[in-house]
Amino acid sequence: MTDTTVHRPATGAGFALPAPAKLNLLLHITGRRADGYHDLQTLFVLLDHGDTLHFQADPALTLTCDHPHLPVDDDNLVLRAARLLRDATGCQRGARMHLQKRLPAGGGVGGGSSDAATALLGLNHLWQLNLGLDQLATLGLRLGADVPVFVRGRNAWAEGVGERLQAVDLPPLWFLVVDPGVAVSTARIFGDGELTRHTPAITLPASLGAATFEALLNNGHNDCEAVARRLFPPVDQALEWLQREAGNARMTGTGACCFARLAGAQAARDLKRRLPENWTAFVARSTELSPLHEALATLRAKQHPGPAFNDNAT
């Protein structure tokens, strides 16, 4: 379905699942592979802010979206994920899906990848396919390098093109994320002649206590930042403002969004209030387990309540 004017979420006996944003707290490019892809080291953190995908059983496979400019054609990652799942399992069932888009497309917060992961896990549930997370993550990688981390739902250290994941425990973190309002093409950043591609690989400390975590972040950086700043002046302005106001300003992924870590919710909200006029930003908190996985667990518990306690048992 390509009608972007339909603003009606699915109703009836359906369910809705979150598609959270991610930040790359650091992003080091350690090399370039023979196939042109880049080897990375990155620290993914999942946030409590994102899109929402609504599901309803239906004979046809359709998608609508409340975003006026995001195409809901065959290229949309939600429909690509649904078709991939059907092809991989032979399932012939359909679904009526509606995407409530809050994350900026091409913003480096992984919106499209997260939508794809939520589609994979949501349809696996709706169609009762019972695929495990390993199988879904393998399928997800075919849609994009960032999909597996959303499928697995844990903050993670990633290597390779982002598919070699190691779950990490992080302290609770608060961020102000500024959206400079430009869509950055990942391929354009990786194709730039001035991109630094040879940051020495580091070894993740065995345990990420508060001090080692701070050292890791302080010694880390985002190799894509210099190129994005040069190509997209709004990214440069966002980083300058965040650095001046909060320190520790950094870009996420290949851009465009930039963030600063704040001491808590109040500090993040206070900084948001000082945002220059006409700028867009959101406050977000890190999550230990993805809101997608939390919501799926709640859904399963409602549909398959455990055995009730028998008060008469002796």
Ligand X SMILES: Nc1ncnc2c1ncn2[C@@H]1O[C@H](COP(=O)(O)OP(=O)(O)O)[C@@H](O)[C@H]1O
Residue list for the binding site for ATP: 104-114
* Chosen from ligand X, ligand SUD, none, partner binding at 95 (C-beta under 5 to 8 Å by type): none
Among this protein's residues, is 101 annotated catalytic? no
Burial class (CB in 10 A: 0-12, 13-18, 19+), 183: middle
Contact 84, 232 (CB under 8 A): no
Residue pair 146/52 in contact (Cβ under 8 Å)? The answer is: no
Verify binding: residue 24, ligand SUD, rule CB under 6 A. Answer: yes
Interface with ligand X in residues 118-137 (CB under 6 A): none
**Sites for ligand X among residues 77-96 (CB under 6 A):** 77-78
37 binds, among ligand SUD, ligand X, none (CB under 5 to 8 A by kind): ligand SUD
CA separation, residue 195 to residues 191, 205, 289 (Å):
8, 27, 33
Q: With b meaning 16 or more CB within 10 Å and e meaning fewer, what string describes 61-82?
A: bbbbbbbeebebeeebbbbbbb
String of DSSP letters for 77-117: HHHHHHHHHHHHHT---EEEEEEE--SPTTSSS-HHHHHHH
Given the complex with ligand X, which of 28 and 208 has the nearer CB atom? 28
Binding site: residue ranges? 104-114
Residue of the chain from 14, 107, 162, 234 that contacts ligand X (CB under 6 A): 107
Binding piece for ligand X, criterion CB under 6 A, among 105-113, 147-155, 217-225, 301-309: 105-113
292 counts as binding ligand X under rule CB under 6 A: no
State yes or no: is 236 an active-site residue: no
User: Residue 126: which H helix or E strand, with range?
Assistant: helix 111-126
Of 217-276, binders to ligand X (CB under 6 A) are 253
Question: Nearer to ligand X by C-beta: 18 or 112?
Answer: 112
What are phi and psi for residue 159, nearest 5 degrees?
A: -135, -175
Catalytic residue among 51, 101, 115, 146: 146
CB 16, min distance to ligand SUD, A: 24
**What are the residues binding ligand SUD (CB under 6 A)?**
24, 27, 36-38, 40, 42, 108, 110, 113, 144-146, 161-162, 186-187, 190, 253-254
Q: Which residues are identified as catalytic?
A: 22, 146
